[in-house]
Amino acid sequence: MPMQIGLDELLSMLLARVDGMAMDGENQKSRFNIMFRILYKKGLFSDQDVLDSIREEHRILKGLGVIEELPSNEVMENVARDLLLWIKGDVTALKKTMEEYEKRVSDAVARQQKPKIDVAPAAVLGQLDRLGAQQQGGKKIIL
């Protein structure tokens, strides 16, 4: 005999699973951050190693067809700089970078053209219906 489960129970189980996955992801990020900080402080990799690894990653992604073209050197250098700020734990620089990013995002959102919806008066819609009826044998025009 099949077991029945309510929609609310199913949603609760799915949300619990998603929460667990999110927590696991955060734990992994913390562990990686800690390990990278240890390795960097011990001098096992340099700033240039980070930049070289970012270039290599993008070369591999392009070779696999995941990206169409390699980012510019400036973009890769910015990625390396931001990653190194995180590894080095430079809170002041990280805050500044985050504020600049938030400003750029809000400026971009402000510049976006919002779609404009004009509502025609009933008289104009009636006129369009009459024109459509004459031209299309009684069919209405839908815009």
Report whether pLDDT(54) > 70. yes
Task: Say whether pLDDT at 136 is over 70.
Answer: no
Q: How confident is the model at residue 14 (pLDDT cuts 50, 70, 90)?
A: very high
- Indicate the pLDDT class of residue 140, thresholds 50, 70 and 90: low
One-character DSSP codes across 17-86? HHHHHHHHHHHHHHHHHHHHHHHHHTTSS-HHHHHHHHHHHHHHHHHHTSSSSPPPHHHHHHHHHHHHHH
3-state secondary structure of 142: coil
| pLDDT digits 0-9 by tens, 60-113 | 999 999 999 999 999 999 999 999 999 999 999 999 989 999 999 999 888 887
- Length of the chain equals 143
Domain boundaries, the chain: 9-44, 45-112
Prediction pTM value: 0.59
Question: What gap in Å lies between CA 72 and CA 80, rounded to an integer?
Answer: 13
Q: Is the pLDDT of residue 143 over 80?
A: no
Q: In 3-state terms, what secondary structure has residue 121?
A: coil
CA distance readout (Å), 131 to 47, 118, 123, 126, 134 = 70, 20, 12, 9, 5
